[in-house]
């Protein structure tokens, strides 16, 4: 009875020990008597005791392989230290288990040789400026080469590119010279823009001053023209008033004569006397000479004759 109980307990322990649970995003490779049998996916499974075994536990999550820095020689014989970061995942547990002895080590070595081949075709400047191109080519090459290992390479990144110390010093000097050149160019462009702006300002100021002077002259000319117009209008109104008052022709002729006199007062005046004004002047002169009116010349005083001494009578006065 006790032996039966012991046997039952042992059987239960063996059964319980062969019940396996595969976690999510994992796969187990199962062998039967040393030969591949199946691949367990996530869930609960029962393993045949003593005949089956779990050959490989594989995770399907994306993993990162950080390669150490390694020397790489460029096309122009510059040795640099470059380290890479590889993102990969396992898509087939069977291929991963039986494709290579150590798939991760194989992937690392393949990445190193591929990197040397790609960088060896580029010069130093091309290597420093072609990271995206190198990443894309390495991803394509590694992904194609690791398909038979059940590995999917999703991305490759160049983590660090470390040139030699003398190259770094030369690059720093070149960068400093380039920055100095850009600063000089920016300063020159700033001075140029300032000079152009100043010249534009001076030009606008001169234009505004000329426009102001022109407007002032126009306003002055308009004012003088208006003053002359009003003066002539006043004279015309005066003449019209005289005419309306019934003034005879002699007074009008005198007014014309006065106008001529006033016009002759100006400097450098050239007067053209009309014929009727000349006739009026002649008539006025003849009238003055005939009547004596208007003659303001005083007659000369009579000459005083000195009185002679009388020799006959002067002796008695003494």
User: Would you state the structure tokens that stand for residue 184, as one six-digit string?
Assistant: 């000089």
Same domain assignment for residues 70 and 104? yes
Same domain assignment for residues 75 and 126? yes
d(Cα 275, Cα 245) in Å, to the nearest integer?
Answer: 26
d(Cα 244, Cα 283) in Å, to the nearest integer?
Answer: 25
From residue 270, alpha-carbon distances to 255, 260, 265 in Å are 19, 11, 11
Q: Are 96 and 90 in contact (CB under 8 A)?
A: yes
Same domain assignment for residues 54 and 67? no
Same domain assignment for residues 18 and 103? no
Q: Residue 105: inside a domain, yes or no?
A: yes
Q: Residue 290: inside a domain, yes or no?
A: no
Q: Residue 159: inside a domain, yes or no?
A: yes
pLDDT at 312: 46
d(Cα 43, Cα 169) in Å, to the nearest integer?
Answer: 59
Mean pLDDT by 10 residues, the chain (318 residues): 82 83 91 90 88 90 90 88 92 90 91 91 85 91 92 91 83 84 89 90 90 88 86 77 65 64 57 54 51 47 51 46
pLDDT at 90: 93
Burial class (CB in 10 A: 0-12, 13-18, 19+), 256: middle
Same domain assignment for residues 154 and 71? yes
Same domain assignment for residues 100 and 142? yes
Q: Residue 130: inside a domain, yes or no?
A: yes
Task: Report how many helices (DSSP H) and strands (DSSP E) the chain contains, helices first.
Answer: 9, 9
What is the tally of structural domains in the chain? 2
Same domain assignment for residues 95 and 123? yes
Same domain assignment for residues 30 and 52? yes
Q: Residue 173: inside a domain, yes or no?
A: no
pLDDT at 173: 85
Q: Are 90 and 60 in contact (CB under 8 A)?
A: yes
Same domain assignment for residues 16 and 52? yes
pLDDT at 153: 94
Which residues, in sequence order, are CB contacts of 79 under 8 Å at separation 6+? 71, 72, 73, 164
Q: Are 108 and 65 in contact (CB under 8 A)?
A: yes
Same domain assignment for residues 126 and 105? yes
Q: Residue 206: inside a domain, yes or no?
A: no
Q: Where are the beta strands (DSSP E) in 67-165?
A: 70-73, 79-90, 151-162
Query: Which 3 state secondary structure label does DSSP give 95?
Result: helix
Q: Are 97 and 35 in contact (CB under 8 A)?
A: no
Same domain assignment for residues 149 and 68? yes
Q: Domain boundary residue among 117, 132, 163?
A: 163
pLDDT at 77: 87
d(Cα 288, Cα 297) in Å, to the nearest integer?
Answer: 12
- Helix residue spans in 245-299 (DSSP H): 249-263, 275-291
Q: Residue 18: inside a domain, yes or no?
A: yes
β-pair partners for 35 = 32
Q: Domain boundary residue among 163, 190, 215?
A: 163
User: Would you state the structure tokens that stand for residue 132, as one six-digit string?
Assistant: 């995206």
pLDDT at 27: 92
Same domain assignment for residues 123 and 159? yes
Q: Residue 35: inside a domain, yes or no?
A: yes
pLDDT at 19: 87
What CATH number is attached to the domain comprising 70? Answer: 3.30.479.30
Structural domain boundaries, residue 130:
63-163
Q: Are 83 and 67 in contact (CB under 8 A)?
A: yes
Burial class (CB in 10 A: 0-12, 13-18, 19+), 96: buried
pLDDT at 126: 84
pLDDT at 264: 60
pLDDT at 257: 65
């Amino acid at each position: 009875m006790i032996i039966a109980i012991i046997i039952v307990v042992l059987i239960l322990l063996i059964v319980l020990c062969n019940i396996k649970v595969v976690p999510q995003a994992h796969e187990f490779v199962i062998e039967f008597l040393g030969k591949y049998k199946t691949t367990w996916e996530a869930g609960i499974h029962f393993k045949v005791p003593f005949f089956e075994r779990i050959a490989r536990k594989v995770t399907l999550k994306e993993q990162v392989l950080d390669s150490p820095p390694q020397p790489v020689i460029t096309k122009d014989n510059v040795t640099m230290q470059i380290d890479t970061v590889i993102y990969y995942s396992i898509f087939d547990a069977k291929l991963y288990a039986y494709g290579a002895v150590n798939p991760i080590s194989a992937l690392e070595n393949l990445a190193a040789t591929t990197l040397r081949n790609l960088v060896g075709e580029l010069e130093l400047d091309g290597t420093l400026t072609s990271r995206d191109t190198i990443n894309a080519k390495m991803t394509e090459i590694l992904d194609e080469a690791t398909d038979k290992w059940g590995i999917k390479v999703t991305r490759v990144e160049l983590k660090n590119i470390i040139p030699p110390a003398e190259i770094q010093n030369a690059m720093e000097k070149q960068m400093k010279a380039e920055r100095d050149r850009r600063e000089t160019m920016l300063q020159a462009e700033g001075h140029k823009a300032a000079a152009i702006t100043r010249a534009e300002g001076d030009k606008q100021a001169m234009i505004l001053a000329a426009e102001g002077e022109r407007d002032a002259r126009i306003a002055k000319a308009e004012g003088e023209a208006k003053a002359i117009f009003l003066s002539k209008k006043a004279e015309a109104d005066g003449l019209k008033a005289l005419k309306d008052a019934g003034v005879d022709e002699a007074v009008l002729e005198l007014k014309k004569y006065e106008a001529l006199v006033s016009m002759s007062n100006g400097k450098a005046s050239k007067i053209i006397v009309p014929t009727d004004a000349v006739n009026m002047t002649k008539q006025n002169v003849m009238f003055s000479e005939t009547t004596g009116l208007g003659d303001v010349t005083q007659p000369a005083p009579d000459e005083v004759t000195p009185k002679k001494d009388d020799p006959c009578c002067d002796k008695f006065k003494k």
